[in-house]
A and B are shown apart, each in its own frame.
Chain A
Amino acid sequence: MTEVSELSEEDPLARPPEDGTVLDVCDLRMRYGSTDVLGGIDLTAQRGEVLCLLGPNGAGKTTTIEVLESFRMRSDGWVSVLGTDPAHGDERWRAGIGIVLQSWRDHGNWKVRELLAHLGSYYRPYSTPRRPRPIEAEDLINRVGLTDQSEQRVRSLSGGQRRRLDVAIGIVGNPELLFLDEPTTGFDPQARRDFHDLMHSLADDDTTIVLTTHDLDEAEKLADRIVILAGGRVVANGSPAQLARQVTRDAEVSWTRGGQPFVHATPEATNFVRELCAQYGEEIADIEVRRATLEDVYLSMVHRHEAGYAGEAAAEFHKREVQP
């Protein structure tokens, strides 16, 4: 049993640190035998930021998250989560972290409200004026949309309802930092929309969110910042718009003139359109400007990595990151 350490933990403002950096990872490495699963990851997240980890299977997303959750010991590198090394995180540190796990058959006998109220009770000793803990079961049940199921046994929930319960369990301790590993697998569009709204409301309450997903559309909607991993390295890191500019600064302009379609790629789409209209006037119709989507970015980055240009892709990012 871990005792609460004496190190100025009484002051609730002591963490997260003053500068608002909730997550700080430097050169994180993970090695199994002679295989490098993570080859030097750098990550940061500010308070209230939504960070999305993208990458193909085996890119190291889950391993990274598990190191940050303290479920896995790293081989090398420097990691700070809520101002503490997760390898030495105590129970108070644990109370500041929410984890959405994939449920399976656990707690099948429990009723939804009973389980949330019970799991919430573990957080009560760690309540602070700034972060009251836990979130009341009733409130939580309404927020995740399980009001009609609150007296049902967990075993009898549908797959989507169980997933909502997983999310509720993840946030019952009103965490400062929330981890979600592929949270929306198996959600229907309505559940997905509800989930996105919930994440936005948590971020508005200064909760930092780190999630992995395969759904690029979801990443684009939720993330303040996207980190693309491939082969255990960060190959891109920035806001969705920044990433799009990184792949190509060109936008694609398409139009028709006299019924005939035209396409033109240009970095100066607005000017191009203005000149086009000035030149041809009413002959121009169906103007469309399409910028690179996250999917373009993702595929291009992962492709570059797989083609063996991981280092170059990353270097190029750093070069471009300093530009506005």
Chain B
Amino acid sequence: MTPRIASLRAGVTRGRIELSHAYTNPQEVFQYLFWPVIFFVVMLFMRGSTVPGTEFSLAASVLPSVIGMNIAFGMMGVAGVLATEREDGTLLRAKAVPNGMPAYLIAKIIVVTGMTAASVALILVGGLVLFGRDLNPGVGGWFTLVWVFALGMVAVLPIGAAIGSLLTNPRSMSLLFLPLGGLISISGIFYPITSLQGWIQGIAQVFPVYWLGLGMRSALLPGDLVTVEIGESWRHLETAGVLGAWAVLGLLLAPPLLRRMARRESGSAVEARRASAMRRVS
């Protein structure tokens, strides 16, 4: 068995074990269920409302965008995990075993993808049960859903890893939620982007959140609703282009940043972080 295959196999095993821990650990399950559940509660209240001028349920029209938003959260998932596990010494252990680092990263990709897929599936199943009348993607729709999800993960995970490798401690994660929240509010997740001013639309279209939402809407919503989108088009080509560009950018940035982060790990670095975290607690 060559080292490369060994580390791939170890990474997959590690990812599988950590996923099973995550699915059975109440605290983590709560974290991942929190937003989908809040969303369903809101949707239940919105049950009666329809998209203005149509018979289409308002809640069902928002659901695909929420799925897109959840994919974008995968970025925060990776960044948060790296910051946390650098502080608690998990990363240093990975560095201390042969081929530990690549295996560690493979495992994190599996875990975050698995958890994101689970929350997406949850929203999707719940949505189909509640709004099956409005949401009925055909074969083409399912196909779009799969490729947007896959490309979306490839776009957000490396960027998340790059951000995570720059964070000095898990507390700085909260600084990231602010810009992400701002981005979500201008990315046409909860109301059509075309109701915003042109320059704001321009900013939103630089980032993946808008395109993930658009991709999911194109997969799940009936064709008539395209009229509220920019250019009255689902713009699949542009979606693939922008998400692809983010993927390339992330894959270029992440490896050197992760190597830099790994190089700096040492027992005394972990010890120093532990000491500073302890001061914070006491």
- Which A positions have Cβ atoms within 8 angstroms of B? 1-4, 62-63, 65-66, 69, 71-72, 91-92, 94-95, 99, 101-107, 109-110, 114, 118-119, 121-126, 169, 173, 181
Q: Is the CB of B267 within 8 A of A101?
A: yes
CA distance A118 to B7 in the complex (A): 12
| A101 & B93 in contact (Cβ 8 Å cutoff) | yes
Contact in complex: A71, B89 (CB < 8 Å) = no
Q: Is the CB of A125 within 8 A of B1?
A: yes
Q: Is B25 located at the chain interface by the 8 A CB criterion? A: yes
B267 touches A110 (CB 8 A): no
Interface residues on B, range: 35 or more
Given contacts A102-B270, A104-B274, A125-B2, 6 further A-B contacts (CB under 8 A): A2-B3, A71-B267, A101-B93, A101-B267, A105-B88, A121-B9
Taking the nearest CB of chain A, how far is it from the CB of B242, in angstroms?
29
Please tell me if B265 contacts chain A, counting CB pairs below 8 Å: yes
CB distance from A163 to the nearest CB of B (A): 14
C-alpha spacing A106/B88, complex, angstroms: 5
- How many angstroms between the C-alpha atoms of A257 and B241 in the bound complex? 99
Instruction: Assess A122 versus B17: contact at CB under 8 Å? Given A72-B266, A104-B274.
Output: no
Known contacts A101-B96, A109-B25, A118-B14: does B267 contact A181 (CB below 8 Å)?
A: yes
Beta-carbon contact of A62 and B267 below 8 Å: yes
> Are A107 and B267 in touch, CB under 8 angstroms?
no
Q: When chains A and B are docked, how far (Å) is the Cα of A261 from the Cα of B23?
A: 74
A249 vs chain B, min Cβ distance (A): 39
- Prevailing SS type, chain B contact patch: helix
| B126 surroundings in chain A (CB, below 8 A) | none
A170 to chain B: closest residue by CB: B96
B21 contacts across to A, CB distance below 8 A: 109-110
Cβ of B205 within 8 Å of any chain A Cβ, yes or no, is no
CA of A169 to CA of B95, assembled, Å: 13
Q: Which residue of A lies closest to B24 (CB)?
A: A109
**Best-buried of A72, A91, A92, A94 by chain B (most CB within 10 Å):** A91
Docked complex Cα distance between A31 and B268 (Å): 16
Residues of B within 8 Å of A62, CB to CB, are: 267-268
Provide the residues of chain A in CB contact with B270, threshold 8 Å. Answer: 101-102, 104
| Chain B residues in 8 Å Cβ range of A173 | 97-98
Q: B90 interface residue, CB < 8 Å from A?
A: yes
Find B3's partner among A106, A110, A125 (CB 8 Å cutoff): A125
16 A-B residue pairs with Cβ-Cβ distance under 8 Å, sorted by A, are A66-B267, A71-B265, A71-B266, A94-B98, A102-B271, A106-B85, A106-B93, A109-B21, A110-B17, A110-B21, A121-B10, A121-B13, A125-B6, A126-B98, A169-B93, A181-B267
Cβ contact within 8 Å between A122 and B88: no
State whether A123 touches B98 (Cβ < 8 A).
yes
Question: Closest A-chain residue to B269, C-beta based?
Answer: A71
C-alpha gap A101/B266 in the complex (Å): 9
Q: Are B13 and A104 in contact (CB under 8 A)?
A: no
The reply to whether B95 and A107 form a contact with Cβ atoms under 8 Å apart is: no
CB of B170, distance to nearest CB on chain A (Å): 11
Q: Which of A102, A105, A118, A122 contacts B6 (CB 8 A)?
A: A122
The distance from the CB of B262 to the nearest CB of chain A, in whole angstroms, is 10
- Chain B, residues 105-138, CB within 8 Å of chain A (1/0): the string is 0000000000000000000000000000000000
The chain B residue sitting closest to A93, CB to CB, is B98
CA distance A72 to B18 in the complex (A): 30
Do B266 and A122 touch (CB < 8 A)?
no
Contacts of B7 in A (CB 8 A): 1, 122
**Shortest Cβ gap from A162 to chain B (Å):** 12
| Cβ of B277 to closest chain A Cβ, rounded Å | 9
Roughly how many angstroms separate A94 CA and B99 CA in the complex, as a whole number? 9
B100 at the interface (CB under 8 A from A): yes
Report the nearest B residue to A1, measured CB to CB.
B102
CB of B92 closer than 8 Å to a CB of A? yes
Would you call B236 an interface residue if the criterion is a C-beta within 8 Å of the partner chain's C-beta atoms? no
> What chain A residues lie within 8 Å of B266 (beta carbons)?
66, 69, 71-72
Q: Mark B203-229, 1 if CB is under 8 A from A, else 0.
A: 000000000000000000000000000
With the chains together, A2 CA to B7 CA distance in Å? 11
Distance in angstroms from A59 CB to nearest chain B CB is: 14
B4 at the interface (CB under 8 A from A): yes
Q: Does B103 belong to the interface (CB within 8 Å)? A: yes
B87 to chain A, nearest CB (A): 8
A92 touches B267 (CB 8 A): no
Query: How distant is B281 from chain A, measured CB to nearest CB, in Å?
Result: 12
Question: Which residues of chain A are within 8 angstroms of B92 by Cβ–Cβ distance?
Answer: 101
A169 contacts across to B, CB distance below 8 A: 93
Q: Indicate which residue in A69, A107, A123, A181 contacts B97 across the interface (CB closer than 8 Å).
A: A123
B89 touches which one: A103, A124, A125 (CB < 8 A)?
A: A103
Contacting residues, chain B, for A119 (C-beta < 8 A): 93, 97
Cβ contact within 8 Å between A106 and B89: yes
Taking CB atoms, residues of chain A closer than 8 Å to B96 are 69, 94, 99, 101
Chain B residues within an 8 Å CB radius of A94: 96-98
Contact of B10 among A69, A122, A126 (CB under 8 A): A122
Q: Which of A2, A66, A125 contacts B268 (CB 8 A)?
A: A66
Residues of B within 8 Å of A101, CB to CB, are 89, 92-93, 96, 267, 270
Kindly state the separation between the CA atoms of A103 and B271 in the bound complex, as whole angstroms. 10
Let me know if B13 and A122 touch, CB within 8 A.
no
In the complex the two chains form, what is the Cα distance from A109 to B84 in whole Å? 14
Partner of A107, one of B1, B10, B90, B103: B90
Please name all residues of chain A whose beta carbon is closer than 8 Å to the beta carbon of B4 when the two chains form the complex: 1, 3
